[in-house]
Amino acid sequence: MAGDSARALARSRRHKADEPVLAAETSESGTQGEQDTARVLATLPSGEWRVFHDVRWPGRRQADIDHVIVGPGGVFVIDGKAWSGRVDVKGGSLRQDGRRRSRPVITAAAAAMAVGELVLGLDESAINPVICFAREEPVFGWCGDVMVCSTGNIVTFLTSRPRVFTEAEVLDIAQALSRSLDAAPSHLRAASLAGLAQPVARRPITRPPLTRTKSRRVSRTAHLPRHVRLAITVGIVGLMVGAAFAFDVPARVGELGSQAAEHVIAPEKTVGTAVTVPALGSRPSLQVTAQAPVATRSTMPGLRPRNGQQLVAVPLTVENTGDGVWRSSDDLHAEATDSADENYSSDPAYTGITAGRTLPAKIELRAGKTTRGYVVFEVPRGTRIAKVRVTVGPGLAKTLRWSVD
């Protein structure tokens, strides 16, 4: 029993849980999950966050979105759930009592995409799909771009994300969403949610004056009120959208998106090869190297792999080749793929292993400095790791890939 308690405590800090979990969902449980999530979101600082509850899914008549919130860390589109049983994320898949549940993940990602399209010019990397389970124990994991959490840790997750918006930008985006997001029809809305939505404060935005130069061209509509300028912009965009479809621009945009992805996902290298991560925003340039995986054992009292599982550690080296300090919180994430194409997420619960020092969850690396350590995976016994992926942030994260000979 003591070993089980230690395991549960250590696993509560995971980025991706590895224990099988959960049972069946009903419409009643979904409503309860929405209500519980709304109550927890009400504890967010109202001066920094704008919260919308129970809104219509853009472009759909018979679907709603539980919560949309805007804050310093981005826009979060949240689906609140109250499933029975145990829940975890294993190998990048959401599981309920060990069974894979893909539909909620797909739905959450689609909802976030629909909301993101409401704000012109908003970087899609700032839109975050979230599934939040109504339960006290922490749940944490990633299914692709969808973050999985619980009411026990969602506020911590939201308030600890790196800042991507200024206070003025939060207000601008919230105002744009308040004009675009409609309340869900009464038959789709839980009555107990009435009054929980936080109104968007419509106050003037103070910005420093623009410095004019000879080359600066001032917009002819700059003197107009903001809502008038927005209406003009929407009208122009409408005309552009019509012309775009006439000339098959969506297909061309898709091609451009595929080309842009090549800059975010680095070509695959063999283990032992250093891969460069270009500087972007607050992230300095880095050089990352993954070595071949090695078998290892836990040195942590009471924390051992489950029956039939083993630990594998991948050595990582990160060198700061830029001019500034690189700070990593949740911005360094590793995954491994076996020869059967099963994916496994690194397990930060194992901070002590026989192979050597593990990389800490938070790294602060000054310019010109190097850090080394292991990332640990719990995999079925006898598994052969074929590929390793490391995602590096902050900002627009870059995914580095290595193959294992």
Say if strands 50-56 and 343-345 run parallel, antiparallel, or are unpaired.
unpaired
Residue 188 has pLDDT above 50, yes or no: no
Residue 387 has pLDDT above 80, yes or no: yes
Please indicate, yes or no, whether residues 157 and 47 belong to a single structural domain of this protein: yes
Burial class (CB in 10 A: 0-12, 13-18, 19+), 118: middle
SS3 assignment for 258-322:
HHHHHHHECCCEECCCEEEECCECCECCEEEEECCCEEECECCCCCCCCCCEEEEEEEEEEEECC
How many CB atoms within 10 Å of residue 301? 10
Indicate whether 392 belongs to any domain: yes
Which pLDDT band, with edges at 50, 70 and 90, does 203 fall under? very low
Cis bond upstream, residue 394 (ω within 30): yes
Last residue of a domain, one of 134, 163, 193: 193
Question: What CA–CA distance (Å, rounded) separates 402 from 405?
Answer: 10
Which pLDDT band, with edges at 50, 70 and 90, does 195 fall under? very low
Q: For residue 26, what pLDDT is reported?
A: 33
Indicate whether 222 belongs to any domain: no
Domain span holding position 301: 264-403
Tally the C-alpha atoms within 13 A of residue 235's C-alpha that lie toward its C-beta. 6
More confident residue, 295 or 59: 295
Indicate whether 17 belongs to any domain: yes
More confident residue, 392 or 192: 392
Please indicate, yes or no, whether residues 28 and 107 belong to a single structural domain of this protein: yes
Please indicate, yes or no, whether residues 29 and 173 belong to a single structural domain of this protein: yes
pLDDT, average across residues 72-85:
92
Please indicate, yes or no, whether residues 28 and 120 belong to a single structural domain of this protein: yes
Indicate whether 363 belongs to any domain: yes
Q: For residue 79, what pLDDT is reported?
A: 93
Residue 197 has pLDDT above 70, yes or no: no
How many CB atoms within 10 Å of residue 240? 11
The CATH number for 279's domain is: 2.60.40.1240
Indicate whether 231 belongs to any domain: no
Q: For residue 331, what pLDDT is reported?
A: 52
Q: For residue 68, what pLDDT is reported?
A: 94
Please indicate, yes or no, whether residues 156 and 35 belong to a single structural domain of this protein: yes
Contact 292, 365 (CB under 8 A): no
Chain centroid, CA 104 distance in Å = 15
Please indicate, yes or no, whether residues 183 and 44 belong to a single structural domain of this protein: yes
pLDDT, average across residues 303-330:
90
Indicate whether 31 belongs to any domain: yes
pLDDT tens per residue, range 222-274: 445 544 454 554 455 455 444 444 444 334 333 333 333 333 566 789 999 99
Indicate whether 273 belongs to any domain: yes
Q: For residue 20, what pLDDT is reported?
A: 30
Going through 194-238 in order, the beta strands assigned E by DSSP cover none
Residue 310 has pLDDT above 70, yes or no: yes
Name the percent of the chain lying above pLDDT 70: 70
Q: For residue 223, what pLDDT is reported?
A: 47
Name the percent of the chain lying above pLDDT 90: 30
Please indicate, yes or no, whether residues 144 and 26 belong to a single structural domain of this protein: yes
pLDDT, average across residues 204-220:
36
Q: For residue 328, what pLDDT is reported?
A: 78
Tally the C-alpha atoms within 13 A of residue 279's C-alpha that lie toward its C-beta. 12
Burial class (CB in 10 A: 0-12, 13-18, 19+), 180: middle
Contact 370, 401 (CB under 8 A): no
Indicate whether 278 belongs to any domain: yes
For every residue of 84-97, DSSP letters joined together read SS-EEEETTEEEET
Last residue of a domain, one of 150, 166, 193: 193
Q: What's the number of domains the chain is made of?
A: 2
Question: What CA–CA distance (Å, rounded) separates 134 from 82?
Answer: 5
Please indicate, yes or no, whether residues 183 and 284 belong to a single structural domain of this protein: no
pLDDT, average across residues 153-169:
88
pLDDT tens per residue, range 331-364: 577 889 998 888 888 888 888 999 999 998 788 9
Average pLDDT, the chain: 75
Please indicate, yes or no, whether residues 273 and 171 belong to a single structural domain of this protein: no
Please indicate, yes or no, whether residues 181 and 273 belong to a single structural domain of this protein: no
How many CB atoms within 10 Å of residue 62? 10
Last residue of a domain, one of 172, 193, 214: 193
Please indicate, yes or no, whether residues 284 and 372 belong to a single structural domain of this protein: yes
pLDDT tens per residue, range 80-97: 998 988 898 888 889 999
Residue 193 has pLDDT above 70, yes or no: no
pLDDT, average across residues 7-19:
39
Please indicate, yes or no, whether residues 170 and 312 belong to a single structural domain of this protein: no
